[in-house]
Amino acid sequence: MTLKLLTAEKTSQTKSEELLNAYLKGACVFIGTAKRNEVADCAKAFLKNDEGYFNAYYDKPATKDLLTSVNEADISKKEKELKMRAKTAPFKAKLNYAFNVEARKHDSLSVLVPSIAALPGLSVSVNAAEQGSLEGFAIGMAGIGVAVGTTVAAYKVRKGLEAKNPAEQRAIDDYIAAKHSLVALKQLKKAIQKENGSSNMQMAQRFLAAGFGNPGGMITTPAILKQKANGR
Q: Could you give the count of Cα atoms lying within 13 Å of 34 in the half-sphere of its Cβ?
A: 21
What's the predicted TM-score (pTM) here? 0.70
**Contact of 143 with 174, CB cutoff 8 Å:** no
Phi and psi at 175, nearest 5°, equal -65, -45
Q: Cα separation of 138 and 121, whole Å?
A: 9
Nearest to 166 by CA among 32, 35, 1, 8: 1
pLDDT digits (tens, 9 = 90+) for 28-59: 999 998 888 999 999 999 999 999 999 999 99
pLDDT digits (tens, 9 = 90+) for 78-92: 999 999 999 999 998
Least-confidence region, from 53-57, 81-85, 140-144, 171-175: 140-144
Q: Cα separation of 91 and 40, whole Å?
A: 23
Contacts of 71 (CB under 8 A, 6+ apart): 14, 16
Ramachandran category for residue 118: left, alpha or beta (phi over 0 → left; psi -120 to 50 → alpha)? alpha
